[in-house]
Amino acid sequence: MSLLLLQSYDGESQLSYYNQVLLNANASSFEVILDVNGKGKGLVATRDITEGTTVFIERPLVHLQHLDNRGSAIVCQACLRFVGSIERQVGHKLRCLVDQLRGAQRGTSLSDGDGGDESEIDLDGALEAGERLEQIYSHVTPEGIAELCSGTAKLPLSDGFQLPDPVPCRRGCVALYCSAACEAEAWEHSHCLLCPVSTSTGPAAAAAPAGAYSPGSAQAAVTHSGGHSDTAEAVSSPDAATNSTGQPTSYDSARADGTAGGSAEAAAGGGPASAGPGPSCFSGGPTAASPSVTAPTEAVMEELCGISIDRRALVSFWEHARETNEIFLLAAQVVAVTLLKAARLVQVDELSEGAPVATTPGPSSQAAGSSSNACQSALLAAWRPFMYGWKRCWWEAVAVPDDVDDEEEFRAQLRSLASDSLELLSAAIKDPRFGPDLFQLQVYGSIVGMFELNNMGLIVPSPVEDYFLEVDEMEEGTEKREVTQVTQPLLDALDAEYATPCEATAFLALQSCINHSCDPNCTAACDTGDRTVTILAQRDIPAGEEITVSYIDLSLPYKERQADLRDYGFVCRCVRCVAEAAEARAKRKGTAKGVKVGRRR
């Protein structure tokens, strides 16, 4: 059976899509070219661009705060702004850290990842965790952490670092937002299909919008995050679940002993703390013990735009993703966004009494599948933003880690993980009109593969870091001494964690067309104020030159850069790499000559 969503499409349809995206982004200084020097599609300047100019600004189509970052940063799940207060951010970090260390102490990081005995206890890890815990408790008390989390403790100077009040998800799941507008946007985008809570029992529905908050303008580093270790971890380390700690047991209800209220033990029947309660899909929010996030025991079916949702089955999907590969959560967003859009298009079509649904140039609608032509056409229109992303299946696209001996088995394991994930997702979300075409393993694998090679890492600096820096920069004197009496113990307890930023991964339509160079002419930055990524010219770019960014750490030497780029599936032949390779060859020749001469002597 040929797959409707993975059929080849023509260049014209691809260009017409990108031209529309360019128009929407108000971008006029470059165009999308389908083949730039054998690198696939890329962006090329159509006129001179001056250094410092914004080349374009774009919003992600989908994004996800990394699960293992959720214990370090409570952010709006829609726009990644930090929310709450400095006190709560510090309390949350400390409490998640304590949870994580307790888990490690009990021996949750058990396996060596080589298929060894999972019940084997990592004594060194447990010992280290114990020492770190002791260190934390030598600076703060469990009660102190609880007071920070609940907002009853007040830190000096924190008024200068106002953060928006968190607005919970309307269903009361653990997702938090910076405003009612962000909550509504996330709900409409995909959360209405993916929220694991079935009824509105929490306080969310009545939550007031965020208090006064002026959009931040902090520029965050943005790096490409494709081709990475999540994958390897998911397969080679059964500890992957424990790596997602920090997640979110609760936001502001730490127990007096410093552990999370409604903690993992309760939810996981005494299991590792890091296993987390119920659907630990977001940071912050109500505790697991709260009825609003307790996984329903019976299937709870709902219907939305003709799509049926089993919220209980969603919990299993979330759990599997958290334990294997969080990128499945992003893939689920693509599935949800596509389904919702297709369903809405069909509704509009029905309302307008049979007028044709928005048609999509490209694959013919002759493809096999059980949906009607109108539904296929709606599905193709909805799928378009993802249709032209990189389309290799995840298990084929992933670079094989060095420590993997059996490549075939490794790829088969990835395929099987994706298959399990898709099975769980399709048990939770059902739509006979689009399901047969959308819930295909090859399609799901292509979505995950697209992220593997095209995603961008977003890094949003933490206001907690700014807070401690401001304290540090205070003029020496009595006031500073009084302030640091309160803040220094917290800083010592947090140690390196004090500066942890919010870290997320995202897929963007235009940015994902930018090829890499080790001597790039542009940089990317994430403006958390309006959840956009900005591409900035970092030198003059003449018309006709390709727009490039760097996917990797440019300070690395040639060989290491090439090794990192192998994860993206190519050898870099940019001007810098070609020059450095030639230089290395010349050096080797020189050395070789020297050796020969030496031998003769």
The contact pattern for ligand SAM, residues 352-391, with x = CB under 6 A and - = no contact, is --------------------------------------x-
User: Which stretch, 112-120, 203-211, 328-336, 565-573, contacts ligand SAM (CB under 6 A)?
Assistant: 565-573
Enumerate residues 6+ apart whose C-beta is below 8 A from 518. Answer: 550, 552, 554, 561, 572, 574, 576, 577
Residue 130 binds ligand SAM, judged by CB under 6 A = no
User: Which stretch, 11-19, 229-237, 301-309, 562-570, contacts ligand SAM (CB under 6 A)?
Assistant: 562-570
Residue 568 binds ligand SAM, judged by CB under 6 A = yes
Identify which of residues 75 and 513 has a Cβ nearer to ligand SAM in the complex.
513
Q: How many CA atoms lie within 13 A of 405 on its CB side?
A: 1
Residue 311 binds ligand SAM, judged by CB under 6 A = no
CA gyration radius for the chain?
Answer: 25
Site residues (CB under 6 A) for ligand SAM, limited to 50-89: none
Which amino acid does the sequence have at 495? D
Provide the 3-class DSSP secondary structure of residue 228.
coil
Separation of alpha carbons 516 and 519, rounded Å: 9
Identify which of residues 146 and 504 has a Cβ nearer to ligand SAM in the complex.
504
CB of 181 to ligand SAM, least distance (A): 30
Residue 505 binds ligand SAM, judged by CB under 6 A = no
User: Which stretch, 323-331, 367-375, 376-384, 507-515, contacts ligand SAM (CB under 6 A)?
Assistant: 507-515
Q: In residues, how long is the chain?
A: 601
Beta bridge pairs of residue 534: 57, 525
Identify which of residues 40 and 594 has a Cβ nearer to ligand SAM in the complex.
40
Given candidates 101, 314, 346, 453, which one binds ligand SAM under the rule CB under 6 A?
453
How far lies 349's CA from each of 12, 359, 513, in Å? 26, 11, 32
Given candidates 459, 513, 524, 533, which one binds ligand SAM under the rule CB under 6 A?
513
Pair type for strands 546-549 and 515-516:
parallel
Angle between helices 478-494 and 86-105 (to 10 degrees): 30
Residue 512 binds ligand SAM, judged by CB under 6 A = yes
Given candidates 54, 484, 569, 581, which one binds ligand SAM under the rule CB under 6 A?
569
CB of 572 to ligand SAM, least distance (A): 5
Nearest by Cα to 491 from 140, 158, 82, 95: 140
Dihedral pair phi/psi, residue 196, rounded to 5° = -85, 5
Site residues (CB under 6 A) for ligand SAM, limited to 518-537: none
Are 319 and 279 in contact by the 8 Å Cβ rule? The answer is yes
Residue 245 binds ligand SAM, judged by CB under 6 A = no
Q: Which two tokens stand for residue 417?
A: 């993980």
Separation of alpha carbons 486 and 378, rounded Å: 59
Beta bridge pairs of residue 31: 44
CB of 38 to ligand SAM, least distance (A): 7
Identify which of residues 5 and 547 has a Cβ nearer to ligand SAM in the complex.
547
Torsion of CA 337, 340, 343, 349, to 10 degrees: -80
CB of 556 to ligand SAM, least distance (A): 15
Site residues (CB under 6 A) for ligand SAM, limited to 27-56: 39-42
Residues near ligand SAM (CB under 6 A): 39-42, 390, 453-454, 512-513, 515-517, 568-570, 572, 574
